[in-house]
Amino acid sequence: MRSGRTVRLWQEELGRFPPYRLDADAVFWAYMASAEFCGCHIPRGWGQPARILDAYLEFRHHVNDGAVKAEDRPKGFYSLAGALRHFGLDEIDAARKDTVRDRILQGPPFTNAERADILAYCEDDVRALARLIPRLVPTIPSLPHAYFRGQYAWAIAQEERRGVPVDLPSLAAARRFWDDIRCDLVAELDVPYRCYEIVNGVPHWRNNLFLEYLQRNSMTWSRHESGALDLRDQTFREMAGRYPQIEQLRELRFTLSKLRLNDLAVGRDGRNRTLLSPYGTKTARNTPSNKRYVFGPAKWIRFFIAPPPGYGLIHRDFAQQEPRIAAILSGDKALLHECESGDVYLGIAQRLGFLRESMSSEERKGVRTLFKTVVLGIMYGLGAHSLAMRTGVSLYEAREILARLRAQFRTFEDYAESVVDHAGLFGELSNAVWLADAVSAAHQAKNGAQLSDPEHRKRDSARRQYRGGAAPNSDNSANS
């Protein structure tokens, strides 16, 4: 940028080494750096730049606001044009950009004039980024952390390019017979519930049948203000903590209503590749498409994952990660001791007097399920009423459990309160890796009834603190 030097090269003119420096005395800037790495650096063997600043990630960092959901932002808000617009800078000619992009997607051959247009199109983005950088740099509170996020963009690019290996013949067969499979799934999995009807070969969910199932089994269920049953997938997930038998029905509902096998992004080489969208949530998690990513839809879809001959596949996941993060951040030695016990949920249950040696394996499993909800719930500020609703215990029992937890883990409780106080005083939350998370006065005014509820404030603050601490390792699969 300082030299003003411009390099224009067509694909076949690119050599073994990039036309710019990658050492630690230079900074590699890009908007959505993973796209540059996945499409150019990795296939050409150019290697990882020593210092990476991803303007896309830093823009998301700057505008991250706990009061606004990403889906509520205007269309294109997080694009390069959207970032320019946010800072009041001249935007890119969108119409010209769309025209050239459409021509690129059609593929070669390209005329000399089209080559010139494509190079100019790329140069427009580079010059736009050069205008954005001086506005963006002052918003970065810590360059070392920004460089870390840039390194993560490199890791994401490796994963996006490698993809997840899929058994393509089995997937093709499932796609071909999907309509029949849907009916077979209902015939087999809906037997305990009887909530579906098959009409002309098509399964149909019936609300009245689900209500009858709840009544037959004396189960309570969340409802909307109108009195209608709350049938959102998130509600099913929460109620499964109280009624584990509901999880199979939830999976069936999701499979039949949302899953479209043809939407899975699987190439001819049998690899599932899609944009992983790093730092896509306010707590810095990845947000790949639930439709296009093999880990997004129903869990049974993962059975299509298979390594090619001669290779192995490792799917690594952290166990009981959030309680350990909470113990370390708060400095609560008692909580950390239970994390080291091998099973933090059973360890806490035993400490609180809810686990007996005479219990059967099924009874111990039930206690563990209860205390997983309890432990994660108290970390996120879950109150007695919500705990009773989710677990099925009485309100008195819920209060007693929470009182015992707070007495045993006082250091953590004090820390959790300090997180809420910090959010209220300074209007933001952050962690070592991500992000100043604004809590705007407008949001507090808009949602005053909720935010005045200590349970809501505590849950909202803690969710960002503990999930944010885990975020760089969240929602990813490792494969080789």
DSSP strand pairing (271-272 vs 202-205) = unpaired
Find the radius of gyration of the CA atoms of the chain: 26
User: What is the distance between the alpha carbons of residues 253 and 237, in angstroms, rounded to a whole number?
Assistant: 12
Question: Tokens standing for 379?
Answer: 């970390």
Spatial separation of the C-alpha atoms in residues 261 and 300, rounded to whole Å = 12
Q: Which two tokens stand for residue 393?
A: 């215990």
| Mean pLDDT calculated for residue range 78-95 | 90
Angle between helices 178-189 and 168-176 (to 10 degrees): 80
State the average pLDDT over residues 282-296: 88
Q: Which residue has the tokens 């206690």?
A: 367
pLDDT of residue 155: 96
Q: How far is CA 10 from CA 40, 111, 382, in A?
A: 12, 12, 57
Q: What is the mean pLDDT of residues 250-263?
A: 85
- Using CA atoms, how far residue 446 sits from 24, 372, 450, 452, in Å, is 47, 33, 9, 11
187, pLDDT greater than 90: yes
- In the chain, where are the structural domains located? 11-162, 163-313, 321-473
Across the range 306-313, mean pLDDT stands at: 90
Range from 12-16, 159-163, 471-475 carrying the lowest mean pLDDT = 471-475
Spatial distance between the Cα atoms of 206 and 15, rounded to a whole number of angstroms: 62
Using CA atoms, how far apart are residues 468 and 446, in angstroms rounded to an integer?
25
**Is the distance from CB of 10 to CB of 112 less than 8 angstroms?**
no
DSSP-assigned letter for residue 261: G
pLDDT of residue 47: 94
φ, ψ for residue 433, nearest 5 deg: -105, -45
188: closest CA among 255, 245, 256, 252? Answer: 252
**Residue 479 binned pLDDT confidence (cut-offs 50, 70, 90):** very low
Which residues lie closer than 8 Å to 314 by C-beta, 6 or more apart? 478, 479, 480
pLDDT band at 470; cut points 50, 70, 90: low
Cα gap 398→391, rounded to integer Å: 9
Low-confidence winner among 155-159, 169-173, 468-472 (lowest mean pLDDT): 468-472
Q: How far apart are CA 162 and CA 267, in angstroms?
A: 11
Pairwise CA distance, residues 235 & 218, whole Å: 18
Residue (of 392, 469, 57, 42) closest to 217 by Cα position: 392
What is the chain's length? 480
- Give the CA angle between residues 235, 338, 468 to the nearest 5°: 50
- The 10s digit of each residue's pLDDT in 92-144 is 887 888 899 999 999 999 999 999 999 999 999 999 999 999 999 999 989 99
Helix (H, G, I), strand (E, B) or coil at 202: strand
Query: Which of the four pLDDT bands, split at 50, 70 and 90, describes residue 149?
Result: very high
Q: 443: pLDDT confidence band, cut at 50, 70 and 90? A: very low
- pLDDT at 477 exceeding the cut of 70: no
pLDDT of residue 451 exceeding 50, the answer is no
**Residue listed under structure tokens 């909202």:** 460
Q: What is the mean pLDDT of the chain?
A: 85
Nearest to 334 by CA among 415, 408, 418, 414: 408
pLDDT tens, residue by residue, 32-53:
999 999 999 999 999 999 999 9
* Sign of the torsion angle spanned by Cα atoms 78, 83, 87, 90: negative
Does the pLDDT value for residue 357 go beyond 90? no
Mean pLDDT, residues 137-158: 94
Checking if the pLDDT of 287 tops 50, the result is yes
Q: In this model, does residue 437 exceed pLDDT 70?
A: no
Percent of the chain exceeding pLDDT 70 equals: 89
Helix (H) or strand (E) holding 377: helix 361-379
* Tokens coding 448: 């005053």
As a whole number of angstroms, the distance between CA 207 and CA 192 comes to 16
Alpha-carbon gap, residue 83 to 143, rounded angstroms = 20
Structure confidence at residue 106 (pLDDT): 94
Q: Cβ contacts of residue 82 below 8 Å, gap of 6+?
A: 74, 76
Residue among 142, 127, 121 at smallest CA distance from 53: 142
User: With 80 as the cut, is the pLDDT of residue 67 above it?
Assistant: no
Range of lowest pLDDT (106-120, 213-227, 340-354, 355-369) = 355-369
Which residues, listed in sequence order, are joined to residue 305 by a DSSP beta bridge?
166
Tell me what pLDDT residue 153 has: 96
Interstrand relation of 52-54 and 202-205 (parallel, antiparallel or unpaired): unpaired
> Which has more confidence, 465 or 215?
215
What is the spatial distance between Cα 392 and Cα 374, in angstroms, rounded to a whole number?
12
Provide the whole-model pTM.
0.79
Residue pair 102/94 in contact by the 8 Å Cβ criterion: no
In 174-301, where do the E strands start and end? 196-199, 202-205, 271-272
- Best-predicted range by mean pLDDT (63-67, 183-187, 427-431): 183-187
Of these ranges, 253-257, 262-266, 444-448, the one predicted with the greatest mean pLDDT is 262-266
**Gap between the Cα atoms of 62 and 141, Å rounded:** 9
Q: Which fold has domain 321-473?
A: DNA polymerase; domain 1 (1.10.150)
**Confidence (pLDDT) at 282:** 82
Q: Averaged over 189-208, what is the pLDDT?
A: 94
Nearest to 432 by CA among 465, 473, 458: 465
Instruction: Count CB-CB contacts under 10 A for residue 156.
Output: 23
Pairwise pLDDT comparison (384 vs 458), residue with the higher score: 384
